[in-house]
Each structure stands twice: as structure tokens, then as C-alpha cells.
């Protein structure tokens, strides 16, 4: 007796079909994953650049050393969005050519993700008043303190569309990062600057105007006046002995 013959479904060409269809799903993934990584890297560069803008605004906030947004933008484009080994030079401008571009920031076809530096990398800075200490308003004029101490740096980067790769071909992607820096309005250049501010303020140092009257008394005989009593005769850098462990 022969066993009955059961028919099997025809599977010829199935592996070939799967091999042809699978790349349709995998190739976009292989392109998108590195692309997203590059977007993240550019986003991180924008974050670092915004910190630079905020600190530049805080450090150069006087009329003699002020930098405009256009001047800072030139530095940001060259130092944060150009080639990684770019030298730090004054008035150095990032050019729209391969030698001045980050070789990593390109699409799968080798086109740069920043099409034009001047148009696609923008900088904005702002300075505001923010008095965290209420007494600042009272002593600002007396101590010569700055009226502006809140600095904001904003950097915006526009990424180029990827031709022929949906939906990145018309997504219009951009990123913006902001850093806000609150500076201490009470800072001074050195001890001498602090001393001159305090001693020059009648409100902070009311005995100061009496110095010209009291000091000449030190020339009188000790029985009439203690010559050790003088106005402002102390060293600002010396810590009193009763404030030191084992002192006095």
C-alpha cells in the first residue's frame, strides 16, 4: 500500500521576495539613525555656543569692550559649528566650503547639514536688571554697582532639508538653545576697589568725612588724646586675631 500524496503549497521565490522587500524598510532606518545622531550633536553644539554667548555678554558689558550680536555670531559659527580643529583667531570667519565645515555634519549624500553659516546660525543676547538682593537698590549708587546683571545668550541653528528622503526633505528642522547667567552685582576687581567703594560712600562709611578732623588729634600729647585712635588705619587683608583659632 502506498501512502497518500499530500500536496504542498508552492514557495518558490519567497526568499527572493523577502530579500527585495526588506531593504525597503531597513535602508531608511540605516540612514535615519546616523542622521538623528548628527542632529543631536548639532543640538549639543548649540547648547555650548549659548553658554559662550551668555558669558561673553557678562564679561563684555561695558561701552569700551561691548560685543554686538553680529560680532559674537561670527565667533560662534567659526568656533562651534566649523571644523573641530579651527584655530581661535580674532575676526576669523567660517566659510561655506569643505575646509571650514564639520565633516561629520553631512547627510547620506555628503551634503552639509548647515547650508550657509551666515543664514543658518543665528545669535541673540540680552541684558536685564535682576536684583536678587533687596539692598542692592539702596546701595547701588553708593557702591557703583552695575544696574544690569542678568545675561541671556540664545543660539539658533537651522538644519538643511534632506533631498529625496521623506519626511526630512521638507521638515524645516531647527534647534534653539538658551543660557541665562545671573552675575553677582556686588563683585569688584580687587580689595582696593572694594575699599575705595566703601570708604567713598557716606552711607556705608559715615565716619569717613570725620577723618580729616580726627586724625590731626593724634598729634596731641597722649594725656589729652589717644594717638592710637585713627580713622581707617587698618589692613583690609588682615584677619582679626580673635577670629583665628588660637589667636590672641
pLDDT tens string, the chain, 248 residues long: the values are 565 555 555 556 666 666 666 666 667 777 788 899 999 999 999 999 999 999 998 887 665 567 889 999 999 999 999 998 888 888 899 999 999 999 999 998 899 999 999 999 999 998 887 765 555 666 677 776 767 788 999 999 999 999 888 888 888 999 999 999 987 666 666 777 777 878 777 777 777 777 766 666 655 555 555 555 566 666 666 777 777 777 76
Q: What is the pLDDT of residue 4?
A: 58
Q: In the prediction, which pLDDT does 46 show? A: 96
Residues 164 and 241 reside in one and the same domain: no
Q: Are residues 34 and 98 in the same domain?
A: yes
Asked, for residue 46, whether it belongs to a domain, the answer is: yes
173 and 246 co-located in one domain: no
Is the same domain home to 121 and 219?
A: no
CB 80 within 8 A of CB 122: no
pLDDT score for 59:
81
> Are 175 and 62 within one domain?
yes
Q: Is 1 a member of any domain?
A: no
Q: What is the pLDDT of residue 242?
A: 76
* pLDDT at site 111: 93
Considering the domain architecture, whether residues 226 and 122 belong to the same structural domain is answered as no
210, 231 contact by CB (below 8 A): yes
102 and 39 together in one domain: yes
Please, what's the largest Cα pairwise distance for the chain? 145
Q: SS3 breakdown of the chain: % helix, strand, coil, rounded to 5?
A: 40, 10, 50
Does 239 share its domain with 166?
Answer: no
- For the stretch 233-241, contacts whose Cβ atoms lie closer than 8 Å and that sit 24 or more positions apart, written own/partner, are 236/191, 236/194, 236/195, 237/191
Q: For the chain, what is the domain count?
A: 2
Do 42 and 100 belong together in one domain? yes
Q: What pLDDT was estimated at residue 220?
A: 52
166 and 89: one domain? yes
Cα separation, 95 vs 102, whole angstroms: 11
* Within a domain: 81: yes
In this prediction, residue 232 carries a pLDDT of 61
Chain center to CA of 247: 45
Residue 131 lies in a domain: no
Identify whether residues 158 and 245 lie together within a single domain. no
Cell numbers for 5, please give them.
500524496
Specify if 94 maps to a domain.
yes
**Residue 118 is placed in which grid cell?**
551666515
**Within a domain: 69:** yes
- 55 lies in which domain range? 21-126+154-179
Is position 162 within any domain?
yes
Residue 3 inside a domain? The answer is no
28 and 106, same domain (yes or no): yes
Amino acid at each position: 500500500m502506498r501512502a497518500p500524496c499530500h500536496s504542498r503549497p508552492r514557495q518558490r521565490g519567497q526568499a527572493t521576495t523577502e530579500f527585495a522587500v526588506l531593504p525597503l524598510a531597513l535602508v531608511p532606518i540605516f540612514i535615519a539613525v546616523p542622521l538623528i545622531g548628527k542632529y543631536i550633536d548639532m543640538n549639543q553644539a548649540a547648547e555650548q555656543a549659548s553658554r559662550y554667548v551668555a558669558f561673553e555678554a557678562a564679561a563684555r558689558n561695558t561701552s569700551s569692550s561691548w560685543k554686538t550680536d553680529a560680532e559674537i555670531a561670527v565667533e560662534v559659527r567659526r568656533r562651534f559649528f566649523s571644523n573641530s580643529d579651527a584655530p581661535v583667531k580674532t575676526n576669523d570667519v567660517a566659510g561655506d566650503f569643505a575646509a571650514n565645515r564639520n565633516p561629520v555634519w553631512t547627510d547620506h549624500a555628503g551634503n552639509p547639514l548647515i547650508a550657509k553659516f551666515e543664514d543658518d546660525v543665528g545669535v541673540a543676547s540680552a541684558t536685564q536688571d535682576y536684583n536678587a538682593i533687596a539692598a542692592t537698590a539702596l546701595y547701588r549708587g553708593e557702591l557703583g554697582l552695575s544696574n544690569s546683571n542678568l545675561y541671556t545668550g540664545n543660539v539658533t541653528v537651522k538644519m538643511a532639508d534632506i533631498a529625496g528622503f521623506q519626511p526630512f526633505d521638507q521638515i524645516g528642522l531647527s534647534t534653539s538653545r538658551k543660557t541665562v547667567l545671573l552675575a553677582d552685582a556686588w563683585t569688584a576687581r580687587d580689595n582696593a576697589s572694594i575699599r575705595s567703594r566703601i570708604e567713598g560712600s557716606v552711607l556705608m562709611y559715615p565716619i569717613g568725612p570725620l577723618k580729616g578732623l580726627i586724625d590731626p588729634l593724634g598729634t596731641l600729647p597722649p594725656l589729652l588724646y589717644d594717638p592710637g585712635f585713627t580713622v581707617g588705619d587698618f589692613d583690609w587683608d588682615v584677619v582679626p586675631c580673635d577670629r583665628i583659632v588660637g589667636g590672641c
